[in-house]
Structure 1
Amino acid sequence: MKSIKLLLLLTSFVFLNGCSNKKLQSSNTHVPYEFSILQLNDVYEISPIQGGKYGGMARVETVHQDLLRKNKNVLLVHAGDFLNPSLLGTIKVNGERVRGKQMVEVMNAMNFDVTAFGNHEFDLSYKDLQKRINESSFDWISSNVLHKISGKKERFYKETIGVKKDLKDTYIKEFTFGENKTLRVGFISVCIPSNPKDYVHYGNIYENIKRSYNELKPKVDIVLGLTHLSIDQDKKIAEMLPELPLIMGGHEHTNSYDYVGNVAIAKADANAKTVYIHRFKYDPSAKTLTFKSELKEINDKITSNVKVSTIIKKWQDILNIKIKEVVDNPEEVIYIASEPLDARDTPIRSIQTNMGDMITRSMSYAYNNEVDCALVNGGSVRIDDVLSGDINAIDIFRVLPYGGAVLKVNLTGALLEKVLDYGMSSAGTGAYLQRYNVNKVGGKWMIGENEINKSKEYSVAFSDYLLKGFDIPFLNEKNKEVLHIYEPQKNEIAYDIRRATITYLKEL
C-alpha cells in the first residue's frame, strides 16, 4: 500500500514538474530579446566643447559603460563624419599631420562596433584615409562609395598585418540570449555625394541602399539604417523602405527625430553635445520589434571615463603646446555668444554669415580699422558647426585651424571689384568671400556708402592664403594692380588671424 502511495506521489511530482517546465518554456518564447544602440554622428572633437560644458568622448564612454552594466547587448555606432574637420587634425606630430588619428585611437578605446562613411572622411587624401582605416578596430560600411583607382572602381579595404580585407556594404551583429538563442541585427548605409574626390566613386544612394536592403533582409531578423545623408534624402529612403523601423542618421548638426510612416529618423547634435540611446525589444514568437529612443545630453554632470580620458589628455597636451605659441591661455572664455555664430560649411561658403562678419571685423581691427574693407575666403573656416554660449580661444582655433597672417594690401579699385565678383560667383565653394564694410547694392559694389572707384587705390585686409592665388588665380603679388603688401611682424596682432579674432572678441 505504501509502495502504491509512493508511486502515485512520484508520478504526480514528475507530471507537475513537467507541466511547470513546459509552462516555463512556453513563457520564455514570449520573453522579448532586449538590446540597445548608442548612436553618435558628426563628432570632430574628442574633448568637451563650449568651455567644457558639453560633449567629450570620455563622458560618452561613461554612458556606454552604464548601458553595458545593465545589459551586455549594446552596440556603439557612428553615423559618419569624424576624421575631419578638427583642430587636432591640422597639427603636425613627428612631422606628419594628425588627420583624424586621434579620433580613431579614442574610438578604438571605446570599442565602437561600426561606423558609416561621412562626406568629411574624404577631406583626407587617400593615403591618410587608408592609414585611418587600417588603424581602426571597428567596421566601416557604405553601399554607394567605392575606391576609384586607375579607371577602375573597387571596394575600400582594411589592411591588418599585411592582410587586406574588403570593407562591406552592410554590417551584421549577432546577439545571444540564454542558451542557443540568437538575434541577428543588420545595418545598411549610404553616404551623401557632396565631397567629390578623384579617388572616390559615389553610386546612386537610392539604388544602392535598396539593393543592400534586399540582399541583407533574408540574412537577419532586423534591418536598421545607419546613414550619412540630408534629412530630405533620409525621408525619401524611409518612403522607399517602409519596413525599416529606424534610420540613425548624420550630416545635419542639430538633433532631430522625425517619422515617415512608421519609419523613425534620428539625428543627434554634432560633437557629442547629445547622443541617442535606442532601447529595443524583439518578440521572437511574433517576430515584432518595438523600441524607445532617448536623446541624452552629454554635459559636465557626467563623469569622464578614466581610460578614454587618459588618451584625450595626451592629445590635448600636444594641442595646448601648439596653441600657446599664439595665445597664453587657451581655456579662457573670451566671448559669450547669445546668438549662435554660424560657421557651418554650406552657409559660410554661400552667404554672408555672422561668423564671417566677426572674423573680417577682427581683421580690420588688427589694423586699427585703418583699412577700407576686409576679406577672407569661406574655405578658411573649417569647423562646420555653430558656436554658442561661452567661447574660448580653443574654439577660435577650431574655426580657423590653419591660422596665417592678416595682410594689409593696397590695390586698385578695378582689381578689388574683380576679386569681389569672383568671390560672389564662387558661391558654394571655399573661394566665396566673407566680407566687412563692402556690399553689393543694386548691382554695384559699395565700400561703406560709396561705390568703388576703379581708378582709386584701396587698402584691404586679406587673409594671407588669398594672396597665394589658390582660390582666386589672379590675386597674387605678381599682379601689377597689387600695389603694395604689408606683412605683419610676429609681435603684431595681425601676425595670426586667430590672435586677431581672439583679441577682438575680448574687447567686445
Structure 2
Amino acid sequence: MSRSRLLLLVLLLSPLACGQTPPAALTIAHFNDVYEIGPVEGGRVGGLARVATVIKDLRRTNSPVMVTLGGDYLSPSALAVPRIDGEPIAGRQMVDVLNAVGLEWATLGNHEFDLLEPAFRARMQQSRFKVVISNVTDATGAMFPNTEDFAVVPVNVGGQSLRIGLIGVTLEEPKPWVRFAPPIEAAKAAIAKMRATGQIDAIIALTHLPLSGDEALVAAVPDIDVALGGHEHENWLVHRGARLTPIVKADANVRTLALVSMTFPQGHRPEVSVRLKPITSEITADSVVDAEVTRWTTTAFDAFKSAGFDPTQVVATLPSSLDGRQSAVRNRPGSLTKVIADALAREAAPVDVAIINGGAIRIDDELPAGPVTEYDVIRTLPFGGAVTRVSMPGSLLVKVLEAGIQNQGNGGYLNTWGISKEGDRWMVQGRPLAPSMRYTVAMPEFLMTGRETNMAFLTRTHPLIGDITDLRDIRQALITELSTTFPVR
C-alpha cells in the first residue's frame, strides 16, 4: 500500500454516488504525537483550539463521535519545561487543554515516561479522558490511576446498540517504576478479558509503536479491526495482516486530524474508511480552548523569564529556513543540525569533534527565514542539559559513530562536526582517524547516560573516557551560535 505524505484518502464504494442514503457510521477523530498546544509553522497549521472546532462540528451531525489520541502528549514540550512553585509544569498544560478539547480516550507514548513518577501519576489523575493501556503497569503490577487495560464503549449507530472494544499498547521505555509487557501478548490477553464481558462489535487498538510494531501486532492479532497509532510524526495508512487491517497515523502536532469512519454491516466485519483533515488557519479557533492555550502560554513564558530565558527575545535573523523536521534530523545532515553541531563545538572549544543526536531536536518544524526567538530555541531543544566535553580514543569514537549510522531513522542518529566518512575511513579535521589517538569530543550530556539506542556502552564510567567537563546548557549554546552567525537585523 502506498504512503501519502500530505493527504490520504481511502474511498469505499460511495452510497451517495449511487443515490442511496449513506449508512450510519461511528466517526473517530484521532491524533497523535502532540507537543504544542498552539499552532506551529508560524501559525499556519496545527493548534488544539482548531481541533476543538472540528470536533464540535462533527458532533453537531448527531452521529456518534469518539476522540482518541495515540500517545506522546506529556513530553517533550517546551511549555512543560519551566517550573512553577518549584515543580516543572511537566504536562499540566497539555492535560488541561486536552480536557477542554474533549478528548475521550488516549494511550501512552514512550515519552510519557520522561516524567518522574509523581508527576506522571498526577497527570493521570488530572485527566478527564481515560487512558487505555494494556501492556503497562507500575512496578508492583498495579494499574496507574485513571488507566484501564481494556475498555468497552457502548455506542448507538443508526439505531444499532453496539459495544466497541478498546485496547492500548506502547513501546518500552525502561524505567524502574514501570513494568512493560510485550505488546502482542498483552493485546491478546486484554481482548480475551474483553470478550468475556459479552458481545464485542469492533475492536480498536490505540497504539504507540513504530510502524513495524503495528504491522506485527495486526498480523498476530486478527481480532483488531483498526489500529490507530502514533510514534511516527508523518501520516500513514497501510493495510496489513491476513484481514488487511488498517493502520492509521496522523501528522504530529495536529497538522492533520485522522477522521476514521466505521460502518457496521449486519453479520460482517466493520468497514473502515479514512481521510485526513488538515488543521489550518482557515479553521476558527474554539474560544474556550484558545483561552486555555493563552493562559498556559502566558504562565509558562513568565516561568521561563524567572529561569533566565526571555521567550519573546529575538536572538537572530535567519536569511533562509533551518530544517528541524524529524524526517530530516534523524536521517541526514541538514541546515539546523549543522548550526547545533557548530554551537556544541563553539561552546566546548577547543574540540576535535562534536556530535548531536537527532532525538534531542524536537521542533519537528522548520525555523523560517526571519526572526528567531528564545522560545524557538527552547522548542528546538526542550530537554536542555549541559554541553559535555570528553576525551576518548579513536577506537571508541569509531564505535560511537558507527552506532550513529546504525541508528539512521531514529533519535540515535548522529549529526557531526569536524569528522566525516570517506569510503571506509573516518577523517577528523581532514586527517585519517587514528584508533590509538585521543580526541576531544563535544556532545549533549544525555549521550553520556548510556540510554541512547545502540550506545549503552557510552557512559561516564567507561574506562576509556576521561576529562569530562559539563559546560553551559545546550540551549544557551545555541542562542550564542545563532546570535553570532545570524545577528539580529
Give the TM-score of the pair, scaled to structure 1. Answer: 0.75
Q: Which runs of 5+ in 2 are unaligned?
A: 1-20, 452-457
Question: 1:205 and 1:104 mapped to 2: Cα distance?
Answer: 25
Larger radius of gyration: 1
Aligned partner of 1:26 in structure 2 is none
| CA distance in 1: counterparts of 2:59 and 2:475, whole angstroms | 50
Map 1:228-307 onto structure 2 (within 5 A).
Answer: 228-242=208-222, 244-260=224-240, 261-283=243-265, 285-286=266-267, 289-307=270-288
- 74 and 451 in structure 1: CA distance in 2 versus 1, 3 angstrom threshold: same
Secondary structure of the corresponding residue to residue 239 of structure 1: helix
**Residues 333-482 of structure 1 correspond to what in structure 2 (within 5 A)?**
334-335=317-318, 340-343=323-326, 347=330, 355-364=336-345, 371-373=350-352, 375-376=354-355, 378=357, 381=360, 383=362, 386-388=364-366, 390=368, 392-393=372-373, 394-403=375-384, 415=392, 417=394, 420=397, 423-424=400-401, 427=404, 434-439=415-420, 446-451=427-432, 472-473=459-460
Which deviates the most, 333-342 or 85-94? 333-342
More off after superposition, 336-345 vs 125-134: 336-345
1:283-337 per-position Cα deviation (integer Å, ceiling 9, x unaligned): 4x44553332110111111111111111111111133335564457458995487
Pair 1:227–1:474, CA change in 2 (3 A): closer
Task: Please give the alpha-carbon distance, in whole angstroms, between the structure 1 residues aligned to 2:359 and 2:228.
Answer: 30
Letter in 2 for 1:266: V
For these two proteins, the number of residue pairs brought into alignment is 448
Equivalent in the alignment of 1:6: none
Deviation at 1:214, TM superposition (A): 3.4
* C-alpha deviation, 1:253, in angstroms: 0.9
Asked whether 1:62 is paired with 2:53, we answer yes
Identity of aligned residues (%): 26
Greater shift, 267-276 or 222-231, is seen at: 222-231
| AA matched with 2:67 | L
Structure 1 unaligned regions, length at least 5: 1-29, 159-166
Q: Is 1:46 aligned with 2:37? A: yes
Quote the Cα distance in structure 2 between the aligned partners of 1:449 and 1:177. 67
| Structure with higher helix content | 1
Measure the CA separation in 2 of the matches of 1:467 and 1:279. Answer: 46
**Could you say what secondary structure the match of 2:365 adopts?**
strand
Over 3 Å counting, the alpha-carbon distance change for 1:452 and 1:256 in structure 2 is closer
Shift, 1:401, TM fit? 2.3
1:39–1:276 contact (8 Å) kept in structure 2: yes
Show the counterpart of 1:16: none
| Residues 259 and 309 of structure 1: CA distance in aligned 2, closer, same or farther (over 3 Å) | same
Aligned to 2:170: 191
Deviation at 1:466, TM superposition (A): 8.0
Change beyond 3 A, Cα 1:424–1:389:
closer
Instruction: Return closer, same or farther for 1:371/1:380 CA change in 2, 3 Å cut-off.
Output: farther
Which letter does structure 2 place at the counterpart of 1:68?
A: R
C-alpha offsets along residues 249-307 of structure 1, whole Å, 9 cap, x if unaligned? 11111101111243111100111111101123334x44553332110111111111111
Letter in 1 for 2:80: G
Which deviates the most, 208-217 or 266-275? 208-217
Q: Aligned equivalents of 1:216 and 1:188: distance in 2?
A: 9
Distance 1:322 1:290, change over 3 A: same
Query: Structure 1 431/54 Cα, relative in aligned 2: closer, same or farther at 3 Å?
Result: closer
Superposition RMSD on alpha carbons, in Å? Answer: 4.1
For 1:129, the equivalent position in structure 2 comes to: 120
8 A Cα contact 2:337 2:415, kept in partner:
yes
Deviation of the 1:464 alpha carbon:
7.4
Instruction: Verify the 8 A CA contact 1:372 1:447 in the aligned structure 2.
Output: no
Q: Report the secondary structure of 1:275's partner residue.
A: strand
Query: What is the aligned partner in structure 2 of residue 502 from structure 1?
Result: 482
> Kindly tell me: are residues 438 and 146 of structure 1, through their superposed partners in 2, closer, same or farther at Cα, counting changes over 3 Å?
same
Equivalent residue letter for 2:171: I
1:345–1:382 Cα contact (<8 Å) kept: no
Q: Which stretch of the first structure deviates more once superposed, 431-440 or 248-257?
A: 431-440
Distance of 1:466 and 1:262 partners within structure 2:
40
Residue among 207, 210, 222 paired with 2:185: 207
Distance 1:501 1:56, change over 3 A: farther
Q: Which residue of 1 aligns with 2:142?
A: 154
Match of 2:15 in 1: none
Alpha-carbon distance in 1 for matches of 2:392, 2:65 = 60
1:154 deviates by 2.4
Contact 1:248 1:267 in 2 (8 A): yes
Contact 1:38/1:75, CA 8 A, preserved across alignment: yes
Match of 1:112, SS state, is coil
How far apart, CA to CA, are the structure 2 residues paired with 1:331 and 1:68? 42
How many angstroms apart in 2 are the aligned matches of 1:177 and 1:277?
Answer: 16
**Residues 210-225 of structure 1 mapped to structure 2, 5 A cutoff:** 210-217=188-195, 218-225=198-205
Write the distance in 1 (CA, Å) between the matches of 2:447 and 2:182: 36
Q: Secondary structure at the match of 1:133?
A: helix
Q: Which amino acid aligns with 1:473?
A: R
Q: TM-score, normalised by structure 2?
A: 0.77
The residue identity in structure 1 corresponding to 2:377 is: I
- Secondary structure of the residue aligned to 1:122 is helix
Q: What does residue range 88-99 of structure 1 map to in structure 2 within 5 Å?
A: 88-99=79-90
